[in-house]
């Protein structure tokens, strides 16, 4: 059961260690007969190279670090699942870290990854430009960084996310199509992407000659403690409802906010979609099972993960990274209309 080494294979075949090593690495220096012989025995003995030794020698680890806010979030869990598949495809391992939206935790996560040894870091930053100096310095030296999801960072590297402006713009248009013109926008505090989503919101209204009421753009708590989010959201929604400019639609810009709105409106005996239509960003499976089922803006998690990982591999495999053609990639979202916007 113990792991077999090159040395043991060498002894058994009466060859040198380097011959074995070269053969298994398919070097041109080795004759095909010896290769075949060696491979056969390696197979038989179930030889598995010792990763620690290999990477000590090569200065690579085949580990990619991923830092997200929290795995307890359907969207991020989906991204991680997809990245995981990508990692396996490329023969890399994923080391997962969570920042819980805190810059300190995030720094600690980065340090842990560095310490453990990773060839690169994929990160969805705690917030806009969190740990930017550290990341910049890493990216300029030995540890390439790729940013995904929360891509409003000044770091000069690949950034893979969605077109936030366009996504919200289109969602507003959908609401206008069902004659809902008094739309409240729920935003996460401190998240860089909120700004673009707000722009999309404002522009869509302007393009349709509607007035913008600043009170309709609501900043909500977005920690990862669900009770706090609920409490805060309840207050904010109550304010909206009781204002003179009462909304007839709500657009949520984060997964957590979106899925929580329905419960709160139900508590308040407000019917959806009759009184208020609801739509928002969410990648949770559960939107189908909500009552009413929830219309959503769906992010292409698999594509995001795939591209981000692809770019990471590209960086890892490139000697002269300065010469790479760095760019941001903005993917399209899709809108899934369900009962929460089904107004006839």
Report the interface residues with its own copies, using CB under 8 A: 1-2, 48, 50-53, 55-56, 61-62, 70-72, 74, 77-78, 80-81, 84, 88, 93-98, 112, 114-117, 137-138, 141-142, 226, 230, 259-264, 266, 284-286, 288-293
Position among 11, 12, 25, 173 found at the interface with DNA (CB under 7 A): 25
Q: How many residues bind DNA (CB under 7 A)?
A: 31
| Other Cβ atoms within 10 Å of 188 Cβ, number | 24
For the CB of residue 110, give the shortest distance to its own copies in the complex, in Å: 12
The site partner of 292 among DNA, its own copies, none (C-beta below 5 to 8 Å per kind) is its own copies
Nearer to its own copies, 99 or 333 (CB): 99
Position among 11, 12, 31, 235 found at the interface with DNA (CB under 7 A): 31
Question: Which residues contact residue 134 at a Cβ distance below 8 angstroms, ignoring those fewer than 6 apart?
Answer: 107, 110
Could you say whether residue 111 binds DNA (CB under 7 A)?
Answer: no
| Other Cβ atoms within 10 Å of 215 Cβ, number | 13
Nearer to DNA, 43 or 227 (CB): 43
Could you say whether residue 18 binds DNA (CB under 7 A)?
Answer: yes
The site partner of 64 among DNA, its own copies, none (C-beta below 5 to 8 Å per kind) is none
Could you say whether residue 21 binds DNA (CB under 7 A)?
Answer: yes
Position among 32, 320, 322, 325 found at the interface with DNA (CB under 7 A): 32
* 27-35, 182-190, 294-302, 315-323 -> range binding DNA (CB under 7 A): 27-35
The site partner of 18 among DNA, its own copies, none (C-beta below 5 to 8 Å per kind) is DNA
Binding site for DNA (CB under 7 A): 3, 5-7, 14-19, 21-22, 24-25, 28-34, 47-50, 53-54, 56-59
């Amino acid at each position: 059961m113990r792991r077999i080494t090159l040395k043991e294979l060498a002894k058994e075949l009466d060859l040198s260690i380097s011959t074995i090593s070269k053969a298994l690495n398919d070097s041109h220096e080795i004759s095909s007969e010896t290769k075949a012989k060696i491979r056969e025995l390696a197979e038989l003995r179930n030889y598995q190279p010792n990763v620690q030794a290999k990477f000590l020698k090569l200065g690579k680890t085949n580990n990619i670090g991923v830092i997200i806010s929290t795995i307890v979030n359907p969207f991020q869990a989906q991204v991680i699942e997809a990245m995981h598949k990508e990692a396996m495809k490329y023969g890399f391992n994923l080391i997962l870290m969570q920042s819980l939206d805190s810059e300190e935790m995030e720094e600690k996560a980065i340090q842990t990854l560095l310490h453990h040894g990773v060839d690169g870091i994929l990160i969805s930053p705690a917030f806009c430009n969190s740990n930017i100096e550290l990341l910049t310095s890493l990216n300029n030296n030995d540890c390439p960084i790729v940013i995904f999801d929360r891509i409003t960072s000044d770091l000069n590297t690949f950034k893979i996310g969605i077109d936030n402006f366009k996504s919200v713009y289109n969602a507003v248009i959908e609401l206008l199509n069902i004659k809902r013109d008094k739309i409240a926008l729920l935003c996460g505090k401190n998240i860089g992407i909120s700004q673009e989503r707000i722009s999309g919101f404002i522009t869509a209204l302007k393009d349709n000659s509607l007035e913008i009421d600043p009170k309709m753009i609501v900043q909500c708590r977005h920690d990862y403690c669900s009770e706090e989010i609920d409490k805060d959201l309840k207050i904010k929604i109550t304010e909206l409802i009781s204002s003179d400019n009462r909304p007839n639609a709500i657009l949520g810009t984060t997964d957590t906010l979106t899925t929580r709105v329905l419960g709160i409106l139900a508590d308040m005996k407000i019917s959806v979609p009759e009184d208020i239509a609801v739509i928002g960003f969410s990648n949770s499976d559960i939107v189908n099972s909500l009552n009413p089922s929830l219309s959503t803006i769906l992010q292409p998690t698999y594509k995001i993960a795939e591209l981000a990982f692809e770019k990471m591999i590209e960086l890892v495999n490139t000697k002269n990274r300065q010469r790479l053609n760095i760019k941001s990639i903005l993917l399209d979202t899709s809108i899934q209309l369900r009962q929460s916007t089904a107004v006839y």
